A and B are shown apart, each in its own frame.
Chain A
């Protein structure tokens, strides 16, 4: 439906001034309830963000509640976190008893289960968010409980790392596709056909950055040592201070450059994945460049620093705005032909993902 005359299918119409009362009351209530209100706060935040997001001619609706997020978190605590803690205690006490083999085995099982569950949690949280997102009265969802995705997450990441990390882009791409291909909106199923082609160059840059950094630091140290030797024993204090300064700048710039190449890779990954996605007659596009991501991140950091941490409560807002500002959709849809999703209704929120402390975006 999008034409090229400045019209965009996705538009975020929110104002931070309107969101501020929500953010501040959420903060207050979260503090006085020792954190329990954050589930309701999250639901309020999403209700606002979704309701200020227009797609074609109607705004999105968030129909999830704080109570179901809370229930999901309690379930995850009882069924997942507690057993894992017990397993962890078991492994530690076995190692204390010098039962290294058995303790190692229990620890191995624990890592396997955690990886599997992280995968399941990622799938189920996407499914939950889609099933609670309405547009023109139609919602999304999935009928897949996500266990199969959990196994894929486990083995694809394992293979990715075992191949010296070189297959990680493949793992990321194929997991993205698998996750989205399991989702639907209305009667339409998402189709995600992202490719690894075009990602490897930037990934290799990330991959090699630490080595290049080490070589750079080594050269810097060598140069410094040489200049110090040549200048002989002049002022004994200044070469030391200069050395510390150069080392500090070196380490800082290494982290900056490494962060930048990782961001460049991720920006391209995200664009490439979204661009390869379809939903029925619609196709999607994401146009945030590395520079846009960098601006987002620097903005986040600046906001949090300047406000002495209070700015943290605006990060959800900023990230959602970023996502919608750069998201675009194309295609002709016949509204009357879109029918309600037949997928199972999800009754509890993304507790599992919450339990692993992973963000939504």
Chain B
């Protein structure tokens, strides 16, 4: 039987049709006439559908399958398979997705891998030159939004503030936008550089460090982070990684992101240490006390190559060596602060009765 008997160019083939209007199953026959699919209904009525309106779907136990994107639910199953002429006239079914089908799985996988690697590379390296391009006022506003001004936890006494200002001025680069320093009432031995040219010292530091020269070394290190724009670089990197890796939704590379983040920090830490040694030397402050501080810390931290890989700061032993080695025996150093100034600075948080301790995180 020729389909419809009116110029159909091949044998009619049995098929099953669901029309998307009811769940009724229609036993029909199909054929092809030029650019149309011919459907011979049970009643004998003939329906024509342009081949362009049809889409081929994956084959399976049901045979071959045609659907109409403009008519959801309409479905034509050909248990014996599409006649070759019809199959040739229709685009192949989608398999992996439009782009990948066009390129082929192997080539698509290589191309995607290359693009992904390039993207991650850009995100890891771009912050290094992009960070310094962000204007300081913008960085300051970001810092404000993230941590606020921390005013209520900042310790103040007139003499302590003066000592801090002197310490900052002696180790900072001359002629640059000012860096604001604060001593926070927190019982942790730590210091940090914050977005927007800010350096904070935690009051716990003064319980541990008995020498103003060591505090000068720490302050100079944090100043290094600020002056080298490490803070903005770190912020941009974290932001970029979280955007690029958003697709994984925590599946694999969160740990990866953490580790690379730490490795990057280590480079920045080395840079900040070098800055600190430079500035201490320019201020004629001995790096010996800072070295001794790290030497003491080295005894308390677990050793081994793994710790060095994972820690954000370079191993304390290496830092102790670097700072100790920077001591110039032929040179005359001066103390970073006079005993009275040191007293005022290190006891500032005990003397300020208005200050409220910051929450420990």
Q: Does A228 contact B (CB under 8 A)?
A: no
Contact of A34 with B116 in the complex, beta carbons under 8 Å: yes
Contact of B75 with A357 in the complex, beta carbons under 8 Å: no
User: Per a CB cutoff under 8 Å, which of B23, B109, B148, B247 touches A96?
Assistant: B148
Q: Which one of A2-10, A202-210, A331-339 is at the B interface?
A: A331-339
Contact of A357 with B250 in the complex, beta carbons under 8 Å: yes
Task: Give the CA-CA distance A51 to B244 in the complex, in Å.
Answer: 34
Contact of B72 with A139 in the complex, beta carbons under 8 Å: yes
Task: Give the CA-CA distance A137 to B21 in the complex, in Å.
Answer: 7
Q: Does A299 contact B (CB under 8 A)?
A: no
Contact of A35 with B248 in the complex, beta carbons under 8 Å: yes
- B residues less than 8 Å from A136 (CB atoms): 18, 23-25
A63-106 CB mask vs B (1 if < 8 Å, else 0) is 10010000000000100000000000100010111100000000
Q: Which one of A24-32, A189-197, A242-250 is at the B interface?
A: A24-32
Q: Does A61 contact B (CB under 8 A)?
A: yes
User: Per a CB cutoff under 8 Å, which of A32, A134, A337 touches B75?
Assistant: A134
Task: Give the CA-CA distance A340 to B24 in the complex, in Å.
Answer: 11
Contact of B145 with A340 in the complex, beta carbons under 8 Å: no
Task: Give the CA-CA distance A328 to B100 in the complex, in Å.
Answer: 39
Chain B interface, DSSP helix/strand/loop, else mixed? mixed
Task: Give the CA-CA distance A58 to B16 in the complex, in Å.
Answer: 11
Task: Give the CA-CA distance A51 to B67 in the complex, in Å.
Answer: 14
Q: Does B251 contact A (CB under 8 A)?
A: yes
Within 8 A of A (CB), among B95-119: 96-97, 100, 105, 108-110, 112-113, 116, 119
Contact of B145 with A89 in the complex, beta carbons under 8 Å: yes
Q: Does A47 contact B (CB under 8 A)?
A: yes
Contact of B112 with A40 in the complex, beta carbons under 8 Å: no
Contact of A338 with B23 in the complex, beta carbons under 8 Å: yes
User: Per a CB cutoff under 8 Å, which of B62, B245, B359 touches A35?
Assistant: B245
B242 to chain A, nearest CB (A): 10
Task: Give the CA-CA distance A89 to B146 in the complex, in Å.
Answer: 7
Task: Give the CA-CA distance A98 to B357 in the complex, in Å.
Answer: 10
| Residue tally, chain B, CB below 8 Å to A | 49
Contact of A29 with B62 in the complex, beta carbons under 8 Å: no
Contact of A36 with B247 in the complex, beta carbons under 8 Å: yes
- B residues less than 8 Å from A354 (CB atoms): 249
- A residues less than 8 Å from B120 (CB atoms): 34
Quick one: given A35-B249, A98-B152, A335-B25, are A137 and B145 in contact (CB under 8 Å)?
no
Contact of A98 with B356 in the complex, beta carbons under 8 Å: yes
- B residues less than 8 Å from A89 (CB atoms): 145-146
Task: Give the CA-CA distance A77 to B61 in the complex, in Å.
Answer: 39
Q: Does B90 contact A (CB under 8 A)?
A: no
B8 to chain A, nearest CB (A): 26
- A residues less than 8 Å from B58 (CB atoms): 47, 51
- B residues less than 8 Å from A337 (CB atoms): 22
- A residues less than 8 Å from B96 (CB atoms): 25, 29, 40, 44
Task: Give the CA-CA distance A129 to B221 in the complex, in Å.
Answer: 56
Chain B, residue nearest A86 (CB): B145
Contact of A59 with B62 in the complex, beta carbons under 8 Å: yes
- A residues less than 8 Å from B24 (CB atoms): 136, 335-336
Task: Give the CA-CA distance A336 to B119 in the complex, in Å.
Answer: 54
Task: Give the CA-CA distance A37 to B105 in the complex, in Å.
Answer: 13
Contact of A137 with B75 in the complex, beta carbons under 8 Å: yes
Task: Give the CA-CA distance A89 to B147 in the complex, in Å.
Answer: 9
Contact of B75 with A345 in the complex, beta carbons under 8 Å: no
What are 28 inter-chain pairs, A to B, with CB distance below 8 A?
A13-B61, A25-B96, A28-B109, A29-B96, A32-B110, A34-B116, A34-B119, A34-B244, A34-B248, A37-B112, A47-B58, A51-B58, A52-B61, A77-B246, A89-B145, A98-B153, A134-B72, A134-B73, A137-B18, A137-B21, A137-B73, A138-B20, A186-B23, A336-B23, A337-B22, A340-B20, A340-B73, A354-B249
Q: Which 9 A-B pairs have the closest CB atoms?
A: A137-B18, A35-B247, A35-B248, A338-B23, A136-B23, A137-B73, A32-B113, A32-B112, A36-B247
Using a CB–CB cutoff of 8 Å, the interface residues on chain A facing chain B are: 13, 25, 28-29, 31-38, 40, 44, 47, 51-52, 58-59, 61, 63, 66, 77, 89, 93, 95-98, 134-139, 186, 335-340, 345, 354, 357
